[in-house]
């Protein structure tokens, strides 16, 4: 994989890195009203560190927020497809990013449609209509169904209309597509050799440097973490197996946003307790085969547990809204909570709700909270306004007149700036939403593609 090898550790390289790091941290700092951190003191000051960051909710903004608070130089694994883009690739190379080729970025559409001729007798045999398997498909490639509902390795190509996959696709959505009368469209992706990428990572770690990785694989806007990829554990175990004296630390890092796509919103970055690489798992990794896979799975579970301590995870958006409403009503009124305290309180609410959600009292409270949220939306008010809504007509009329006058005065003062900056806000809004629609169409995990909007707002604003 061209470009994955490590770059020279010259003074000029680090100077360029520091300059671009300073530039981007200032830019992102202007976009957000506040970015708070928790437990940055837990980050090891020396030695190799791997920051495992989730959830990946804000595309290219997430790495910069880590750079703002990590206190050390961190080099990120970045999709090779992004590194090949002119603008993003330039900055990625200046920040010493390590390109990672992803199979989904190399996938291509093939001729015809495929189907399961006999899902019970031959579940691994794929047949095709108007397909050209012998010309377009090779053994070792990955067969991919639309919307990511299923994929499998191609074991054998028997003819233009018949091939065999390594394992049966058991997912219901995949079976529905493969048993349609007219079959389904499909893509194939070549096998990717990641040896150069692993060598680059091991080289950085052996030099005592820091690596940043987003183990979910890509950015998204779901309320829960995506299943973690095994790459981070393979790197950690592989590097330690090659150098037992490495002393690598894994730092779980959680990113929590308050309206991540909006200008002047807020964010909290939370660093967890550093995780050592267990010696017994390194030994199992060295054995290879099933023992190696088991070691990676076991370490991935340890890393996932660490991430759960620093992230907010709910099964759906409605549950998150319920928890946030409960937190707002519960928090003390005599003093304000910091953002970090709000995130910690929300995390504890989620943990308690997950355990006790089936109790009758909790179910009743859930229904009452849902009704409360609905009434707030109906009246167009916020929680903090509820207690002050009981006012007389005269007082309400006077307040209304005063606020209209105040609005006119402040509107006149703000008018010149609004006129000057309106084109920037309009253009960034239109283009970022267009990019979001394109990202949503190309993704199998995004809900509304809100994770790309802030990135494009910043990039377009810089150009303007």
For 281-326, give the DSSP string.
HHHHHHH-HHHHHHHHHHHHHHHHHHHHTTS---SSHHHHHHHHHH
Distance CA 443, CA 438 (A): 9
Q: Is 154 helix (H, G, I), strand (E, B) or coil?
A: strand
329 alpha-carbon distance from chain centroid: 29
- Residues 7 and 36: their CA atoms lie apart, in Å, by 33
pLDDT in the model for residue 249 = 97
| Closest C-alpha among 441, 435, 426 to residue 454 | 435
pLDDT at 1: 40
Q: What is the pLDDT of residue 290?
A: 92
pLDDT at 401: 93
Burial annotation 122-155 (CB, 10 A radius, 16+ → b, else e):
ebbbbbbeebebeebbeeebbbbbeeebbbbebe
Model pLDDT, residue 391:
67
Q: Enter the DSSP assignment of 184.
A: B
The pairing of beta strand 210-213 with beta strand 74-79: parallel
pLDDT tens series, the chain, 464 aa: 444 444 456 777 889 999 999 999 999 999 998 898 989 999 999 999 999 999 999 989 999 999 999 989 999 999 999 899 888 899 999 999 999 998 888 999 999 999 998 889 999 999 999 999 999 999 999 999 987 788 999 999 999 999 999 999 988 989 999 999 899 999 999 988 899 999 999 999 999 999 999 999 889 888 888 889 999 999 999 999 999 999 999 999 999 888 888 888 889 899 999 999 999 999 999 999 999 999 999 999 999 999 988 988 887 778 888 888 888 888 766 677 787 788 888 888 888 998 898 899 998 988 898 888 888 888 777 777 777 667 677 887 888 899 899 999 999 999 998 898 888 889 999 999 999 998 888 777 888 889 999 999 998 888 87
Give the model's pLDDT for residue 8: 56
Angle between helices 61-69 and 453-463 (to 10 degrees): 90
Residue 149 confidence (pLDDT): 83
Pairing of strands 266-271, 34-38: parallel
Element (H, E) at 267: strand 266-271
- Beta strand spans in 95-207 (E): 98-100, 108-109, 113-116, 125-129, 142-144, 151-159, 162-165, 187-189
Rg (CA), the chain: 26
């Amino acid at each position: 994989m061209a470009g994955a090898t490590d770059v020279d550790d010259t003074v000029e390289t680090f100077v360029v890195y520091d300059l671009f790091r300073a530039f981007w941290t200032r830019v992102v700092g202007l976009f957000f009203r506040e970015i708070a951190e928790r437990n940055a003191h837990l980050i090891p000051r020396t030695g190799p560190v791997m920051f495992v960051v989730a959830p990946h909710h804000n595309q290219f903004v997430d790495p910069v927020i880590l750079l703002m608070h990590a206190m050390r130089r961190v080099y990120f694994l970045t999709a090779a497809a992004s590194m090949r883009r002119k603008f993003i690739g330039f900055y990625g190379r200046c920040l010493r990013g390590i390109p990672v080729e992803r199979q989904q970025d190399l996938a291509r559409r093939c001729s015809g449609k495929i189907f399961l001729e006999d899902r019970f007798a031959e579940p691994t045999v794929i047949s095709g209509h108007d397909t050209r398997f012998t010309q377009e498909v090779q053994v070792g490639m990955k067969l991919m169904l639309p919307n990511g509902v299923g994929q499998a390795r191609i074991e054998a190509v028997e003819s233009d209309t018949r091939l065999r996959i390594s394992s049966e696709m058991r997912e219901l959505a995949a079976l529905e597509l493969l048993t349609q009368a007219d079959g389904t469209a499909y893509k194939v992706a070549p096998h990717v050799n990641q040896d150069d990428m692993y060598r680059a990572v091991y080289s950085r770690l052996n030099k005592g440097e820091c690596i940043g990785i987003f183990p979910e694989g890509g950015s998204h806007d779901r309320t829960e973490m995506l299943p973690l990829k095994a790459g981070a554990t393979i790197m950690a175990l592989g590097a330690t197996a090659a150098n037992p004296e490495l002393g690598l630390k894994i730092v779980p890092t959680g990113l929590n946003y308050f309206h991540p796509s909006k200008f002047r919103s807020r964010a909290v970055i939370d660093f967890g307790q550093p995780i050592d690489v267990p010696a017994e798992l390194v030994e199992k990794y060295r054995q290879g085969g099933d023992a190696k896979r088991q070691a990676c799975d076991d370490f991935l579970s340890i890393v996932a547990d660490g991430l759960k301590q620093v992230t907010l995870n709910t099964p759906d958006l409605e549950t998150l809204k319920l928890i946030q409403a409960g937190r707002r009503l519960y928090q003390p009124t005599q003093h304000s909570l910091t953002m970090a305290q709000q995130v910690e309180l929300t995390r504890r609410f989620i943990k308690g709700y997950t355990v006790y959600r089936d109790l009758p009292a909790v179910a009743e409270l859930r229904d009452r909270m849902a009704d409360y949220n609905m009434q707030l939306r109906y009246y167009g008010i916020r929680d903090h306004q509820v207690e002050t809504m009981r006012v007389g007509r005269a007082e309400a009329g006077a307040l209304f007149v005063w606020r209209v006058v105040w609005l006119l005065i402040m509107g006149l003062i703000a008018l010149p700036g609004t006129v000057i900056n309106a084109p920037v806000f309009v253009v960034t809004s239109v283009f970022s939403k267009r990019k979001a629609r394109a990202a949503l169409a190309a993704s199998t995990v995004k809900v509304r593609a809100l994770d790309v909007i802030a990135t494009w707002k910043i990039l377009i604003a810089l150009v303007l």
